[in-house]
Structure 1
């Protein structure tokens, strides 16, 4: 019977005790209100004793677990006062790293922090079995993984959470950080293993099965694998759409000169991000402005006004060319038209047709509503061949219609990222590659060998898929080669 063992710890506790105690500044370097120094390892309590001089006080040699206290910190060499700090000690194994952890919440002066760090460094004394050193990038999180506190999907979720700039990015990172992603992968793994077990019965007891039974069993496994295959493909699609949240939704502003594109950009940015002028053709090149719109990271591209090239100078012609090229790579296109100048030039209408052929999502903003008495949306809809429900009437001068339009943008952002009914999902490029090149490839190989009635090779193909999921979560032998890639982008104190 096939049995897949998950080694939860790569090192035994006896070996772990020989690891050096590590320390690092976990807050941003530089002058600040506070600076937090984090220490992890068996020498954490020793460092506490030496810095607080508690080793000389009876009954106070060891810090109390999870109990914060204000303590004076001294230099072990000069006995000079370094700082009066908030100290918190966490006893293993229920800590972030699985080891003893000490946190020193210092006043954030550069000299204070450096003095404490130097004092900790000075306690390193291998001759007495005191092994202390500064932490490497991501080493606290690496130890958390090695000691079985988190799997790799949770660790990568922590990194994404730290890097999150907007609310939608924070929500996306939560799925991995809280273990939801791990549960999904482990569910798939469990189901694949069950199907491997079914095939193993044929291998082990083949003589007891007739051809019809084997065929029926193969068909059952095929049906089960097809279901998992579809789930993984759908999951990868959600991931790829959610990745737009990290890079930023590309929103492109198009329209004739002096339509109010830059004014609309400034309203969305809530600042003067682009020059606004009554002179047509003020914007000559594409201006990219990253924004946070209702929790979504959006990169707005303000472009040159599109008009007939016969009416434009050399610089404008190049700007118009760049505007058209940029819009072809946009996730959402906003066509801004001025209601006080309702004529739409042929160059713009031709380009809108090109965008429609590329199946681009297009919204039309009818600006300067404060300058007209009425608006016939249906007329614009017929001329541009765009549904009337895609038109929005606003005034960048008075702010009329802007709030409702911003909510419309938010709804479209949810649609683009497939987060209308589900929270966004983010997993690393490493995990995506493993899903595609190990897990799904294993399924394809299973189908190939199944069609050739090769039970053993079909079973081995599914084992490859199981191994692929193990590589994603880190719960497999031979994972060392991916650790440096995973943790190298972490900051020192994490």
Structure 2
């Protein structure tokens, strides 16, 4: 009887061990199984299509990546992970006897989950001819075989990054940082998106959320246990501490939003208008800064009759320069008057205004320009006064004119002497403009520009700050703790929408990934 019982105990122990082992295997399997395993394997050209180049890259991601490798290379063994292997690529046939060579390619396999998407990823580095790329892509597409449960299709825009997000390789802020980094046209734009790309913004948002959750937890404790005598005496103190924390957090978020709004100037491009009388050298200045003959230049006053916009990378900053018609008050020319109206409008709508003055005329400025600069629309606008044609005067005369201009424009902006003819002073002018751009974007030695997407900016305004404002108002009006707690939850959910941790994120995925290129 004892042995029988012992055998029974041993039997159940073995079952327990088996169950534990099975549970362990399932845990390990789930940890290394991407959540996208049920989705089709996707492929796309990751380099520009319909363009000749030395190399074209085809990216493949999904459970059939290894299958595609075996069919294209006609090899039975997997390639060594994360190593470049030289392989012939063939058109896949049923018998694999016909040697229809497509190309000779470098191939690299990145097994999941240690890959960009978290899935098995295969990259083919083929020759960059249009016909070569097309033939390889067609061959991959023909491997789709739904009857044998092999589901392969061409990727949608941004789908590789979407898979990475779904497999928790990135949050939405990092994904959008990747997109903005690809879209960056200038050095300042590249620098401004690095906070999203390298995860700095993610850490900041997570810290905000942690503070909000802690505050909401304290309110919940008061709500649930407020009738307890030990807690009741501290209710007001807890509510006040949460209010103080919320105010500090609100200020931090508002400062962040201000920096983001300012840095947005760098993304869309700073609008700079060149304003001045006819024939003072506005077009010549634009041509020098653009290092190209953008505007027609002549000695005839009024050569530029309309506004001319030109996007220029000025020392790493995207600047939309606008050359305008000369402004003067005494003209009866109808066309010239239209040009002056447009020049005035461009000046009003610009972010920065550069007033160009002719040194050979003694620095005399038309009253219409002075009135424009002193108008309400120009009150807060950064200005620079460029004294052109200094090569025609001696240094003493130049100093006198510069003092005159400082008085005329009431010290609103730096007076910078230049010569478009000799290039003198141009480098100093560019340095002054760059510093103005940095001041506008709140960039200094301690702070770099921060760029986030329009989606994130709207959520910060409409959800996070709204929830904090509503909470603070609830406290002020003496509303109950339940309502105040719900307001904090609204702000917490807002941050969840930003990072993608908030359930219901499908509605924003289309917006985030639709602007990606297909191979990303």
Q: TM-score, normalised by structure 1?
A: 0.94
- Among candidates 234, 259, 263, match of residue 280 of structure 2: 259
- Among candidates 477, 488, 491, match of residue 503 of structure 2: 477
- CA distance in 1 between counterparts of 2:158 and 2:292 reads 37
Q: Name whichever of 476-485 and 154-163 sits farther off.
A: 476-485
Contact 1:34 1:107 in 2 (8 A): yes
Residue by residue over 1:356-393, the C-alpha shift from the partner in whole angstroms, topping out at 9 and shown as x without a partner, is 75321111000000001131121221123235x61000
- Displacement of 1:89 in angstroms is 0.8
1:257 aligns to what SS in structure 2? coil
- Displacement of 1:170 in angstroms is 0.7
- Please name the residue that 1:406 is paired with: 430
1:219-230 pair list within 5 angstroms: 219-230=240-251
- Displacement of 1:215 in angstroms is 1.3
Contact 1:35 1:108 in 2 (8 A): yes
- Among candidates 333, 337, 355, match of residue 317 of structure 1: 337
- Please name the residue that 2:15 is paired with: none
- Displacement of 1:128 in angstroms is 1.7
- Please name the residue that 2:292 is paired with: 271
- Please name the residue that 1:468 is paired with: 494
> Does residue 449 in structure 1 map to residue 463 in structure 2?
no
Contact 1:71 1:86 in 2 (8 A): yes
- Please name the residue that 1:6 is paired with: none
- CA distance in 2 between counterparts of 1:298 and 1:408 reads 14
2:227 aligns to what SS in structure 1? helix
- Please name the residue that 1:140 is paired with: 160
- Displacement of 1:171 in angstroms is 0.8
- CA distance in 2 between counterparts of 1:400 and 1:298 reads 22
Contact 2:386 2:415 in 1 (8 A): yes
> Does residue 231 in structure 1 map to residue 257 in structure 2?
no
Q: Name whichever of 151-160 and 419-428 sits farther off.
A: 419-428
Contact 2:389 2:421 in 1 (8 A): yes
1:311 aligns to what SS in structure 2? coil
- Please name the residue that 1:111 is paired with: 131
Q: TM-score, normalised by structure 2?
A: 0.89
- How many residues in Structure 1 have an aligned counterpart in Structure 2? 478
> Does residue 35 in structure 1 map to residue 66 in structure 2?
no
Contact 1:328 1:355 in 2 (8 A): no
2:349 aligns to what SS in structure 1? coil
Residue by residue over 1:152-173, the C-alpha shift from the partner in whole angstroms, topping out at 9 and shown as x without a partner, is 0000010101100000111111
Residue by residue over 1:115-134, the C-alpha shift from the partner in whole angstroms, topping out at 9 and shown as x without a partner, is 11111111111222211111
Residue by residue over 1:91-146, the C-alpha shift from the partner in whole angstroms, topping out at 9 and shown as x without a partner, is 11011100010000110111111111111111111222211111111110100000
- Displacement of 1:244 in angstroms is 0.7
- CA distance in 1 between counterparts of 2:469 and 2:376 reads 36
Contact 1:27 1:493 in 2 (8 A): yes
- Please name the residue that 2:89 is paired with: 73
- Among candidates 177, 180, 184, match of residue 157 of structure 1: 177
1:430-441 pair list within 5 angstroms: 430-441=455-466
Q: Name whichever of 75-84 and 144-153 sits farther off.
A: 75-84
Residue by residue over 1:432-491, the C-alpha shift from the partner in whole angstroms, topping out at 9 and shown as x without a partner, is 111111111111221232232411111111111111100110012111111111111111
1:491 aligns to what SS in structure 2? coil
- CA distance in 2 between counterparts of 1:212 and 1:99 reads 55
- CA distance in 1 between counterparts of 2:31 and 2:468 reads 32
- CA distance in 2 between counterparts of 1:230 and 1:407 reads 33
- Please name the residue that 2:512 is paired with: 486
Distance verdict in 2 for CA 1:14–1:315, change over 3 Å? closer
- CA distance in 2 between counterparts of 1:383 and 1:95 reads 63
- Please name the residue that 1:7 is paired with: none
Contact 1:11 1:147 in 2 (8 A): no
- Please name the residue that 1:167 is paired with: 187
Distance verdict in 2 for CA 1:162–1:15, change over 3 Å? closer
> Does residue 304 in structure 1 map to residue 325 in structure 2?
yes
RMSD, aligned CA: 1.7
Distance verdict in 2 for CA 1:493–1:356, change over 3 Å? closer
Structure 1 gap ranges (5+): 1-9, 56-60
- Among candidates 112, 117, 140, match of residue 120 of structure 1: 140
1:447 aligns to what SS in structure 2? helix
- CA distance in 1 between counterparts of 2:198 and 2:321 reads 32
- CA distance in 1 between counterparts of 2:128 and 2:377 reads 56
Contact 2:470 2:487 in 1 (8 A): yes
- Please name the residue that 1:385 is paired with: 410
> Does residue 427 in structure 1 map to residue 439 in structure 2?
no
Give the number of the structure whose alpha-carbon radius of gyration is greater: 2
Distance verdict in 2 for CA 1:262–1:222, change over 3 Å? same
- Displacement of 1:73 in angstroms is 0.6
- CA distance in 1 between counterparts of 2:207 and 2:103 reads 50
> Does residue 98 in structure 1 map to residue 118 in structure 2?
yes
- Displacement of 1:63 in angstroms is 1.2
- CA distance in 2 between counterparts of 1:472 and 1:315 reads 51
- Please name the residue that 1:190 is paired with: 210
- Displacement of 1:212 in angstroms is 5.0
Distance verdict in 2 for CA 1:39–1:429, change over 3 Å? same
- Displacement of 1:355 in angstroms is 5.8
